[in-house]
A and B are shown apart, each in its own frame.
Chain A
Amino acid sequence: MNRLSALVLRLLPAALAVAVALGLAAIVAAVGGHAPGRAVGALVSGSLGSAENVADVLVRATPLVLTGAAVMLAFRSGIFNIGAEGQFLAGALAAGVVGTKTGPFPGQALVALLSGVLAGAAWASLPALLRIRRGVSEVITTILLNFVALYLVSFAVNGPLQEQSRTYPQSDALASTADLWRLAPSIDDRLHVGVLLALLVAIAAGALLSRTSLGLRLRSAGLNADAARLAGFPVVRDLALAFALSGAIAGLGGAVELCGVTHRLYEKLSPGYGYTAIAVALLGGLRVPGMVAGALFFAALGAGASSMERTVGVSAVLAVAVQGATLLAVAVLGTPAVARRLERAGLRRPAATGETS
């Protein structure tokens, strides 16, 4: 296989994602009688247009990098964690309790983040328990827990955590010591330290998977649990650990979003980061660089969609449809039937190498 076709293959999902985004924007704009060209233009310029957009995209990408890393770690360990959304919310809720009900004290932000980590891990432990003890697939249980978390947050911000004035269903603002440090307040006030933290955690998760013996065991369990068991790996213990780690990373995502961006807990804290994370991780081929690129892509898409909504009037929720279409395209491209066609066209190595999902 020559270099060019390898490059085409590598870029195929990304190119598809961009094409899908622009195509859907044009179609939906045309249905509503808007100029398709203007919608596409606004989508592009809103995401890449100016330097100040870059900070916006980085901040938007942060929760996606963390939930994406959580999904990546789970999927490569053979766990279908559809519950990053719930774990994210559990993390945000825990950080919200710490941030509004304690302090202020120095280091409060760190305590808030740690409690988010623990809450996310705890939230992922029930599906782990059900899978290990009862053989229940985590697909359904993690989805169920997403809704439990959502209603728990809703209950909290309408009840025990509601702001003192009892006006809106939201918590009070966090104590100032619970806010994350700004990276460059003189350049852009939105850039918080969580942006870097997310990147470090994603790299660490990738290194854990590919460079440690624990990672080898997790990946083996993901590829073939029976073989891993026969090899003498402590599969059950590792599985529980992988669930907890995945939940912990997603929970950190919730805490970082709360302490770094929203500073208050409210119901719609997550526009579905945990679901977008699945598209992010798979678009990136379940590898760190690709996953981070995927997070940046969907963050830019979100920024572009907001700008398109403001200027052309096409709803920003279109970005969600693009996530779906991209995910569908990536899933279909990875199937044996389609892979064979790509092989014949010289776009894919014969016999898929490495792990798929």
Chain B
Amino acid sequence: MIVEFLAAGLALGTPILLAALGELLVERSGVLDIGLEGTMLVGAFAAAVAAQQAGTPLPGVLAAAAAGVAVAVLFGTAAVLLGADQIIVGTAINLLALGGTGALYREVYGETGTSLVLPTLPRIELPVLSKLPVVGPVLFSQHALVYLALLLVPVMAFFLARTGLGLRVRALGDHPRAAESLGLPVRRDRMIVLAVAGALAGLAGAALSLASAGSFVEGVTAGRGFVALAVVVFGRWSPWGVLAGSLLFGVASALQFQFQATAIRLPYQLFLMLPYVLTLLALLLPRGLARAPLALGASYERD
């Protein structure tokens, strides 16, 4: 029972983890993309349309990644290349995505209310590990995006801390002018980072519509993109911290479903509130922002 519960937490935390890892990378490069929610939403919509057309989930996953890249490039064109305010552009992307996917969903699938049944991502049993007693069948029998998200945590930690390219990303975020004086094309590099993060946000959307929810409805992300933003701060811009924050969210959501399913009358809203409140509390602690990239959110203009 406790293992099943953890497995549910892992599955529910996966969309958050994927989106937050991408946002982590973007923020380490000095860009604050609060359009994450909208990017995820467009990814979830693209995944739903493509998977439903094809009848299999894989095209949905690819379409989601591509759609995520497209939204991120739109954000980047305005906020990085043209230097428009990142917060304003991010807010615009969120509104555009919510309204756009909502209206298009209605046009493509007709009246809301008829719920969409999508081909879902198959569970993959990992050899050996899934044969472990008790833990194996539950924790190591998840869909591919769960494994991808988990694998990305050490990969990204290694990338940022130990590789030259990782150092380059961090330089963009901490001191873009110094990076530029060393000959790095700051805006181009930030665009590349944004595109990678866009793909991850798109995949997060796919994980939502092709697995967690198994469907698409208007505003299906329901604030998860904002949870991912919170998780990046909560995890102090470290991939392991982001993993912890995402799992915390996943477990809190699993708890909420558990309580709704059983007769225990606990207000589930308090669980939904948890990731936001915990992040605020983490920020209240001294040095809560110790690791924030120094140039976060400032648009970069050459002299």
Contacts and interface: CB of A to CB of B under 8 A. Distances in A.
A272 B218 CA distance: 14
Contacts of A80: 87
Interface residues of B, number: 53
B279 to A, nearest CB: 6
Nearest to B274: A151
Contact of B85 (A154, A321, A331): A331
B95 interface: yes
B226 A321 contact: no
Contacts of A137: 296-297
Contacts, number: 170
Interface of A: 24, 28-29, 31-34, 80, 82, 126, 130, 134-137, 139-141, 143-148, 151-152, 154-155, 158-159, 272, 275-276, 278-279, 282, 314-315, 317-325, 327-328, 330-332, 334-338, 357
Interface in B70-107: 78, 81-85, 87-89, 91-100, 102-107
Interface in B9-45: 32, 34, 38
B92 A140 contact: no
A336 B272 CA distance: 41
6 contacts: A134-B283, A143-B229, A148-B277, A275-B91, A321-B98, A324-B95
B103 A314 contact: yes
Contacts of B259: none
B84 A335 contact: yes
Contacts of A32: 106-108
B181 to A, nearest CB: 21
Given A32-B108, A147-B226, A314-B107, A82 B91 contact: yes
A356 B17 CA distance: 36
Binding site of A, secondary structure by majority: helix, strand, loop or mixed? Answer: helix
A275 to B, nearest CB: 6
Contacts of A33: 107
Contacts of A323: 95, 99
Contacts of B267: 155, 158-159
Given A139-B297, A155-B273, 19 more contacts: A28-B104, A82-B87, A134-B283, A136-B289, A141-B283, A147-B276, A276-B95, A314-B106, A315-B106, A319-B99, A320-B98, A324-B94, A324-B97, A327-B91, A328-B89, A328-B92, A331-B92, A335-B82, A337-B81
Contacts of A144: 226, 230, 276, 279-280
Contacts of A140: 229-230, 233, 279, 283
Contacts of A155: 267, 269-270, 273
B83 to A, nearest CB: 5
Contact of B95 (A134, A141, A145, A321): A321
A177 to B, nearest CB: 30
B28 to A, nearest CB: 15
A247 to B, nearest CB: 16
A357 B88 contact: yes
Contacts of B98: 272, 317, 320-321, 324
B95 A317 contact: no
A320 B195 CA distance: 25
B88 A320 contact: no
B283 A130 contact: yes
Interface in B99-156: 99-100, 102-108, 112
A317 B276 CA distance: 27
Interface in B195-230: 218, 223, 226, 229-230
Q: Which of A136, A137, A140 has the most CB of B within 10 A?
A: A140
Nearest to B232: A140
B82 A332 contact: yes
Interface string B259-303: 000000001011011001101100110101100000011000100
Given A82-B34, A143-B34, A152-B273, A324 B284 contact: no
A31 B100 CA distance: 12
B83 A337 contact: yes
Q: Which 4 A-B pairs have CB atoms at the shortest separation, nearest pair first?
A: A321-B99, A32-B107, A324-B96, A324-B95
Nearest to B279: A144
Nearest to A336: B83
A96 to B, nearest CB: 16
B44 to A, nearest CB: 15
Contacts of B280: 126, 130, 141, 144-145, 148
Q: Which of B78, B85, B269 has the most CB of A within 10 A?
A: B269
A317 B103 contact: yes
Contact of B269 (A158, A272, A315): A158
Contacts of B223: 147
Contacts of B273: 147-148, 151-152, 155
A158 B280 CA distance: 24
Given A315-B102, A317-B99, A317-B218, A324 B229 contact: no
A91 B32 CA distance: 29
Contact of B100 (A34, A152, A321, A330): A321
A322 B233 CA distance: 31
Contact of B107 (A31, A130, A154, A327): A31
Nearest to A309: B106
Contacts of B87: 80, 82, 139
A130 B100 CA distance: 34
